[in-house]
Structure 1
Amino acid sequence: MTIETLDKVKLRLLDCLTAAQVTDNETVRTLHGQDESYHEPALPDLVVFPRSTQDVCAIIKIAHEYEIPVIPFGRGTSLEGHIIPYDGGISIDFNEMNQILAIEPENLLVKVQPGVTRMQLNKELKKHGLFFSVDPGADATLGGMAATNASGTTAVKYGVMRDQVRDLEVVIANGEIIHTGNSASKSSSGLHLNGLFVGSEGILGCITELTLRVYGIPEHEVAGRAVFATTALAVQAVTALKHAGIPIGRVELVDAASIHVANLYSETNYPEKPTLFLEFHGNEAGLKQDIEFATEILQQFQCTDLQFEKDTAARNKLWTARHNLAYAFIHASPGKKLMSTDVCVPISELAGAIDYSRELLNLSGLTGGITGHVGDGNFHALLMIDLNNKVEVEAAKQVNEQIVDFALKRGGTCTGEHGVGIGKRSYQQQEHGNALFVMKAIKQVLDPKNIMNPNKLL
């Protein structure tokens, strides 16, 4: 953007917003020019802080008039460069649109602005005996979680972000407001716009309100830790648990290398072998039967150590160790940056994919571990790299490409939950084939000037 255009845009924005809502301060721009990924940062020309849907409409109409990029920003926790403004433009920070608009316990629904975080929402829902299920680990904004179709540890039972969205209010590229759904539990009317906009990563519009499904807090929760001799046995045990119909709330695989760094960081003393972290939700009588049945199944697959935790503190300690795994690797490798792969494969291919990824890691010489939401086939190789070391950077890229290629050739996807951004953009043709043309056509119709988060996803 030229200085002359920038000055004109600032004046137009100040006609609609207050001075506190518009800034070109370099420190603020720097904060909005990076996420938690290893991708190269880049600064926006301006950062704006809308407080209402009408503010967002005004911002986007000005951007549309001047044909300058608009990049939605939540908490900056994304891992594939979604919010990095490589083409400059306006970063729209939604953190001041952080109101919980309505909680409807009788409908099991909640309406929120996009800047509400999942922890903020769950704190309020708890007063009603409810909770929001999607847990990506980070305290991300719900708008950002919808934009990337986030999921996490609880997806095996409750589904991903797309499964929770009933309706979105979206400001599209010409500044008009649309709704993608309604509050009904089902509909056969029209195209499924919820499914289109959830996961669209800001390339079709800015989400300004979400209507989401919530759940009753389970009467009882029991966490468990099961240790196995091999990864294959652990994955086979998970498959058997699912086939048996046991209602698992969470099931996570953590490999031996990851357990090692988790022990150091979280001050735990878990055996350094492939381990399943499990959680069961239900009523007390039902859970007792589920745990007994699960124990029998796990032991059939040579589980060498099995511990269950009913106490809240002990259960939280176990899941905190799992959630902090990425930070454990970062803490153990000072000066290095985390690169996380994110493929998802059919369950039947999971053990082979994980073993293959571990072999690639060993051959690369890079520090790293493997963890994943094995109940739905999604896993991550966590690679620690020195961005100033070209050999390490290239080795990490090769490992990532080989893992993705392995997944795609077996009916999987290049990203199970992190999204495409710029990091997975090069795999879209291989994964989607001719369907990519359809996606590009939709983008062209809704955003002919290509101002909405340009050059991301597609």
Structure 2
Amino acid sequence: MNAPLAASQIDPALLEGLRALLGARVSTSESDRAQHGRDESRHAARLPDAVCRAMSTEEVAAIVKLCAAHDTPIVAYGAGSSLEGALIPLKGGVSLDLTSMNQILSVRAEDLDATVQAGVTRKQLNAHLRDTGLFFPVDPGADATIGGMAATRASGTNAVRYGTMRENVVNLTVVLSDGRVIRTRSRAKKSSAGYDLTGLFVGQEGTLGIITEVTVRLYGIPEVMAAATCSFPTVEAAVDTVIQTIQMGIPISRVELLDDRAIEAVNAYSKLTLPVTPTLFFEFAGSQSGVEEQAAIVEELAKGEGASNWRWSTDADERSKLWQARHDIHWAIRALRPGAKGWGTDVCVPISALAEVIREVRKETSQQSFGTTLVGHVGDGNFHLGMQIDPDDPAEWAKANEINDRMVKHAIRLGGTCTGEHGVGIGKMKFMREEHGEALDVMHLIKNALDPKGIFNPGKVLPA
């Protein structure tokens, strides 16, 4: 599935300018280019012509100016964990690696916010915050960079209580396509001054500007945290329990659905002993009495839908083991079919439509020759379908593509979106017109205004 290695085609004058700026932090080696030409998606790799490692906003601005002068594409690169090909340099050019921009610039505990460079990872930030009693809650599973999470509008397991990156980014420092540097807003809790530029750049996947610094919201670590699991006779029963929990306003921190195939995978990979049936993972947080009350109500709701094996614990090690198993689900699923190519896709729908779209997806996947798993952050209507495809079987690829298309179109018909958190990248572009209609034309206007040469991550997000 990957393109063969090709020689760098970078303009010699541009390469000379980049090396004068960055020295040894410019590379045209095949190994560096190969590393930056792929991500965790099913999409074929494409090599950049050069890899540049920046260490400051000023360096990023200088790199952008040089590339703009030579009409050379730039693709920002972070942890490399994209699932829809957002990092693949389709037209070559420069892969701009921001992982060396890993400084935590300031933590303002009194204001509940922190400013970090784009290459800081979420685990790094939370380790730094450990002694403050605060934490950053957005948790997409992978130890992604904060800049990458902002660029893709990441979400994750905590979104049902704390929201996504959209709600948790206060402001951004962004380098525009002509090298200008802007800050998108102040740190005030609210403002009615001007357009929402922060919202514009959160989720633009590097197509409008390069995010170099991010100010994020912080939260107090809860007094008590408890994890619970319970098994269900059907996926639908589990989903109905989630819907009732959300509609009752119970302030759960996380609720994750794993179907029976996903439970089989995590049992084998993470050495758990859960019953191999559709299962919900819950997390409750708050005071001791509040957590106990939340758990008791949810347990009764679950039993009303036929749940069994309710287990819960406030033990930190048990809770960590459970959520680590959930975070490792990508690798656990891959292990079910060694040698297969993973295709992970997601949609998000209004929670009232969640049971319907999941039911239709399961009908589609129940008779397939390749393995499928369904997991999801179902508390906010978002779920993921994982398919393990024989890379040499065109029939399996065709069927997987058909299943993906039907699932997305069904979600859009129900008022949902083609992607809740994976991003558009390459894979979801074909659904943008169906989801957004004439609003897509407005997006093109914005793209043309901010990136008239089309040098930022070309071929992503917006279909031609």
TM-score range, shorter chain: over 0.9
> Does the alignment pair 1:245 with 2:249?
yes
Q: Which of 260, 263, 276 is the aligned partner of 1:259?
A: 263
How far did residue 363 of structure 1 move?
A: 3.0
How far did residue 410 of structure 1 move?
A: 0.8
Q: Match of 2:110, SS?
A: coil
CA–CA distance in structure 2, aligned partners of residues 4 and 352 of structure 1:
50
Residue 97 of structure 2 is matched in structure 1 by: 93
AA in 1 matched with 2:113: L
Whether the 8 Å contact between 2:39 and 2:85 is mirrored in structure 1 is yes
Shift in CA distance, 70/298, structure 1 to aligned 2, threshold 3 Å: same
Residue 226 of structure 1 is matched in structure 2 by: 230
Q: Which of 193, 213, 217 is the aligned partner of 2:217?
A: 213
> Does the alignment pair 1:80 with 2:60?
no
Residue 40 of structure 1 is matched in structure 2 by: 44
Q: Match of 1:342, SS?
A: strand
CA–CA distance in structure 2, aligned partners of residues 180 and 414 of structure 1:
27
Q: Which moved further from structure 2: 97-106 or 379-388?
A: 379-388
- Identity, % of aligned positions: 47
What is the CA deviation profile of residues 201-220 of structure 1, one whole-angstrom value per residue up to 9, with x for unaligned ones?
Answer: 00001001001101111111
CA–CA distance in structure 2, aligned partners of residues 223 and 2 of structure 1:
51
Q: Which of 322, 328, 332 is the aligned partner of 1:324?
A: 328
How far did residue 6 of structure 1 move?
A: 1.8
CA–CA distance in structure 1, aligned partners of residues 139 and 172 of structure 2:
20
Q: Which of 185, 199, 202 is the aligned partner of 1:198?
A: 202
What is the CA deviation profile of residues 33-67 of structure 1, one whole-angstrom value per residue up to 9, with x for unaligned ones?
Answer: 00011100000001000111110011000111111
AA in 2 matched with 1:212: V
CA–CA distance in structure 2, aligned partners of residues 138 and 2 of structure 1:
32
Matched ranges for 1:48-127 at <5 A? 48-127=52-131
Residue 21 of structure 2 is matched in structure 1 by: 16
Whether the 8 Å contact between 1:167 and 1:210 is mirrored in structure 2 is yes
CA–CA distance in structure 2, aligned partners of residues 4 and 197 of structure 1:
30
Q: Match of 2:420, SS?
A: coil
Q: Match of 1:20, SS?
A: helix
> Does the alignment pair 1:161 with 2:174?
no
What is the CA deviation profile of residues 113-138 of structure 1, one whole-angstrom value per residue up to 9, with x for unaligned ones?
Answer: 00000000000011111111110000
Gaps of 5+ in 2: 1-5
Shift in CA distance, 49/4, structure 1 to aligned 2, threshold 3 Å: closer
CA–CA distance in structure 2, aligned partners of residues 170 and 41 of structure 1:
27
What TM-score does the superposition give when structure 1 sets the normalisation length?
Answer: 0.98
CA–CA distance in structure 1, aligned partners of residues 232 and 335 of structure 2:
26
> Does the alignment pair 1:366 with 2:367?
no
Matched ranges for 1:382-397 at <5 A? 382-397=386-401
> Does the alignment pair 1:140 with 2:144?
yes
Gaps of 5+ in 1: none
How far did residue 297 of structure 1 move?
A: 2.1
> Does the alignment pair 1:343 with 2:347?
yes
What is the CA deviation profile of residues 287-331 of structure 1, one whole-angstrom value per residue up to 9, with x for unaligned ones?
Answer: 122222222222222212211011111111211221111111111
Shift in CA distance, 108/22, structure 1 to aligned 2, threshold 3 Å: same
CA–CA distance in structure 2, aligned partners of residues 318 and 165 of structure 1:
28
Deviating above 4 A after TM superposition, structure 1's stretches of 4 or more consecutive aligned residues are 1-5
CA–CA distance in structure 1, aligned partners of residues 105 and 139 of structure 2:
21
How far did residue 361 of structure 1 move?
A: 1.2
Q: Which of 153, 156, 166 is the aligned partner of 1:149?
A: 153
AA in 2 matched with 1:368: T
Matched ranges for 1:438-449 at <5 A? 438-449=442-453
How far did residue 359 of structure 1 move?
A: 1.4
AA in 1 matched with 2:89: P
CA–CA distance in structure 2, aligned partners of residues 4 and 159 of structure 1:
43
AA in 2 matched with 1:198: V
CA–CA distance in structure 2, aligned partners of residues 51 and 79 of structure 1:
26
How far did residue 365 of structure 1 move?
A: 2.3
AA in 2 matched with 1:199: G
Q: Which of 287, 291, 296 is the aligned partner of 2:295?
A: 291
Residue 357 of structure 1 is matched in structure 2 by: 361
Count residues in correspondence: 457
Whether the 8 Å contact between 2:262 and 2:374 is mirrored in structure 1 is yes
CA–CA distance in structure 1, aligned partners of residues 24 and 16 of structure 2:
13
Whether the 8 Å contact between 1:6 and 1:45 is mirrored in structure 2 is no
Task: Please provide the CA RMSD for this pair.
Answer: 1.3
How far did residue 30 of structure 1 move?
A: 0.3
Residue 3 of structure 2 is matched in structure 1 by: none
Whether the 8 Å contact between 2:8 and 2:50 is mirrored in structure 1 is no
CA–CA distance in structure 2, aligned partners of residues 48 and 5 of structure 1:
12
